[in-house]
Structure 1
Amino acid sequence: MRKEDLDLSACYASLRREITKTRKPRIVPITKRTAKLIQELIRETTEFDSEYVFLNNYGDRLLPNHFRHQLKKYAARAGIEKRIYPHLLRHSGATLFLEEGGSERHLQAILGHADGRMTAHYTHLSDRNVKKNHEEFSPLSAVVGKSDRSRKITR
């Protein structure tokens, strides 16, 4: 990602068509906290005078394979036995977005999917979240009502 692809005051990143899988450019929002961290990173790497945001220790552009290798190394160090790869972060982020109440339509736009089915394929529902949604939206709860009281047993 190049510095010119970011608008840190408006909190968004522009993904150029050359770097997207679909070859369609898009705008992706970032949080204020992320914008602040990126600003800090850019300040820390000014000595390298690079147009890129993510650099290695020598000031060269950080390549995907290097990031993948580092991610695997840190996952192993943390004791994570599951297969970890950069794209998994995209899947996990998408799932968490939905679990926190984000809309599928907005997620589809953020991910750059033309078809909602791809977004649905991308995300995975946790058992905990399915149960929570069922309790909240069950038709039976709407008819009978939710009861937090314990039942009295007179046997």
Structure 2
Amino acid sequence: MQISRCKACEYRFKSGAYSVRGRLDTKTRVGRYVPISPRTCKLLDEYMRETADFGNEYLFVTYEGHKVSDSTVRENIKILGKIARLDRAKVAPHTFRHTGALYNIYGGDPFSLQKILGHSYMKMVRRYVQMTNRDVQTQHAQYSPLNYVFK
């Protein structure tokens, strides 16, 4: 799980991105930059100030200052799912990734999403973005060529 291996030195404050190392941290062994919103950057900055005294190279640490484990991330996400009353949904790290991908596609484009997710082929991105009929109808209504012909 990539989030448990994030190192503080790979977080780019000024550019608002996180540098994912390609050597061991990705399936494709290809590195990438993942954009981070200004609000998230602000929260990460606060978090890093709070945890700086631990002197740990990892970005996310336990209350004792040790590197957070994959199982701790999974457990915390399940707890947050219960708090949010998502009893029927599968609440797991990959579900968060999938949900984030869906939010990105509605406000972005599939090519940016492919780069953010680190997929080599668009075929993999399509698995994340299975549009419903309603989604297709909404997209068509918004971007139909006739909208531009008859203004």
> TM-score scaled to structure 1, two decimals?
0.83
Report Cα offsets for 1:59-95 as digits up to 9, x if no partner: 0111111010111122123221211100111111111
Ranges in structure 2 where 5+ consecutive residues have no aligned partner: 1-5
2:54 is aligned with 1:48: yes
Aligned to 1:107: 113
Aligned to 1:6: 11
Aligned to 1:76: 82
How far does residue 14 in structure 1 lie from its aligned partner after superposition? 0.7
Aligned to 2:97: 90
For 2:35 and 2:144, how far apart are their aligned partners in 1? Answer: 33
For 2:132 and 2:56, how far apart are their aligned partners in 1? Answer: 41
Which is bigger in relative contact order (C-alpha 8 A, separation at least 6)? 2
Aligned to 2:126: 120
Report Cα offsets for 1:89-137 as digits up to 9, x if no partner: 111111111112x111111111111100111112232554323113234
Between structure 1 and structure 2, the one with the greater Rg is 1
Q: Paired residue for 1:23, among 5, 23, 29?
A: 29
> Match for 1:97: what amino acid?
N
For 2:76 and 2:38, how far apart are their aligned partners in 1? Answer: 26
How far does residue 32 in structure 1 lie from its aligned partner after superposition? 1.6
Moved over 3 A (4+): none
Closer, same or farther: CA 96–127 of 1 in aligned 2, 3 Å: farther
C-alpha contact (below 8 Å) 1:72/1:85 kept by paired residues: yes
Aligned to 1:65: 71
Closer, same or farther: CA 70–130 of 1 in aligned 2, 3 Å: same
> TM-score scaled to structure 2, two decimals?
0.85
C-alpha contact (below 8 Å) 1:7/1:13 kept by paired residues: yes
Helix, strand or coil for the counterpart of 1:14?
A: strand
Q: How many residues align?
A: 144
Aligned to 1:135: 141
Q: What is the CA RMSD across the aligned residues, in angstroms?
A: 2.1
> Match for 1:99: what amino acid?
Y
